[in-house]
Amino acid sequence: MAEIKCPSCGSPNVEQIDADKYQCPYCGKSFSYRDTVVSQQPQQTHVFEPEAIDDNPGCFMNGLCFCLPVVGFILYFVKKNEQPNCAKSYLHWALVGFGLGLAFNIIAALGS
C-alpha cells in the first residue's frame, strides 16, 4: 500500500477510518485516498510560459499612455488578461501622465 499523507499538513501518520476515508490525528482533516493522490501529483501542468506571447510594452506605447492617459486606461482593460505586463506598464504610465496633468491643472487654476 502506498504511503498515505495528510493533504493538509503532510503528516504520514494518518488513521484509516473507513474503506476510502482517512483522518489526520494532527490537524483533524478527513480525506479520501483520491485526495492524497491528487495532491501528490507534480504541479508542472500549469507552468506559465511568458514566451508564448509578446508581452513587452514598447517605449512608443508607454509614451502614448503617458501623453494620453485615457488611451492607457483603455489599453489596460483590453490587455490585462492576455498581456498583463504590458497592461501594468500602460496603467503605470497612464497614472503618471494623469497625475502630472492633474497637477498642472491645479497649478494653472491656482495661478489664475
Residue 87 has which C-alpha cell?
497592461
Report the 10 Å Cβ neighbour count for 57: 20
Smallest distance, Å, CB 21 to Zn ion? 14
Smallest distance, Å, CB 23 to Zn ion? 9
**Which lies closer to Zn ion via its Cβ, residue 30 or residue 85?**
30
Site for Zn ion in 9-48 (CB under 5 A): 9, 11, 24, 26-27, 29
* Cβ proximity of 3 and 12 under 8 Å: yes
Q: How many residues bind Zn ion (CB under 5 A)?
A: 8
**Which lies closer to Zn ion via its Cβ, residue 9 or residue 37?**
9
Axis crossing angle, helix 59-67 with helix 84-111, rounded to the nearest 10: 30
Write down the residue that cell numbers 501518520 correspond to.
13
Overall residue count recorded for the chain in this entry: 112
Which spans of this chain sit near Zn ion (rule: CB under 5 A)?
Answer: 6, 8-9, 11, 24, 26-27, 29
